[in-house]
Amino acid sequence: MFNTIALRISKEDSRAMSKAIGPADVPSGPDPRLFIQAVDKAFRVLEAFARHPQPLSLAEIAAATGMDRSGAQRLCYTLRHLGYLEFDELGRGHVPGLRLLDRSFDFLRMHPLVQRATTPLMELRRATQERVDLSLPDDLTIIYAVRLQSKRENFIATLVGRRLPTFCSSGGRAMLAQMDDASVEDVLARSDRQPLTPKSITDLPGLRRKIAEARSIGYALALEERLLGEIVLAAAITNRSGQPVGAIHIAGSLSEWEPEAFQKRMAPLAIETAKALSG
């Protein structure tokens, strides 16, 4: 399932275990006896750059995080000392520090699906000569964990860590197709269904049709819903319980492919790779 919470277990075990639950079981907020607000504030500083992707001054960080200037100053000083923030080389403000890449590296090298998927993805990239991605589910979004490029790309499409709305991505819909109807409706109801392009499908009947289609044919298709001129199809990777844990994406250009020809060529390869990684 997309929604997870930590089990109430011993301090020693709580770092290593989590439990998938239904939407109705999600608590309204963290347990104040265990929740460390100073850590929350530090991460709010780092997460400010997701909403404001440019160097931020101390005043801008304080405004973005809802902190006073003094608190923001202390947190920024601490994060700079630890290497998780740096000053922009042109003196325009703070930017994320190199140490953040260390933590991304730790996540990727320790994630079992990323480990297993890397070689099959490279083989898929050679077979298709198109961009191949692995995405992971995170409730209302998917996040790209592996991206193997084709002959034409823009800068953002080369980066791991990119998030897309679950409802509006081929990988997200492929994973939704593996979920029960109640869970699908919960995700759709909580999603901010704003279009990414004029061709993004955002209405509930249309999204339900696309998810039903993915259940029927074994993959999800998105035509120009994230980027005009782009066609992407995706097949879900499932665990032993049949729950979605990731998706294989293949992306091409409509200047080179007719949609029918792209699906005929790429869908069997995406499905085969996803099945090989499932279970």
CB 228 within 8 A of CB 197: yes
pLDDT of residue 52: 87
Per DSSP, the three-state class of 35 is coil
Continuous segment of H or E residues that includes residue 221: strand 220-223
pTM of the model: 0.81
First to last CA, the chain: 15
Q: In terms of DSSP bridges, do strands 244-253 and 163-165 run parallel, antiparallel, or are they unpaired?
A: unpaired
Write the pLDDT tens digit of every residue in 156-183. Answer: 777 899 999 999 999 999 999 999 999 9
pLDDT of residue 28: 64
Query: What is the chain's Cα-based Rg?
Result: 20
pLDDT of residue 3: 41
According to DSSP H, which parts of 19-155 are helical?
37-51, 58-65, 69-82, 99-110, 112-128
Write the pLDDT tens digit of every residue in 186-224. Answer: 999 999 999 999 999 999 999 999 999 999 999 999 999
pLDDT of residue 8: 33
Cα distance between residue 279 and residue 242, in whole Å: 8
For the chain, which residues score pLDDT lower than 50?
A: 1-27
Cα distance between residue 273 and residue 125, in whole Å: 11
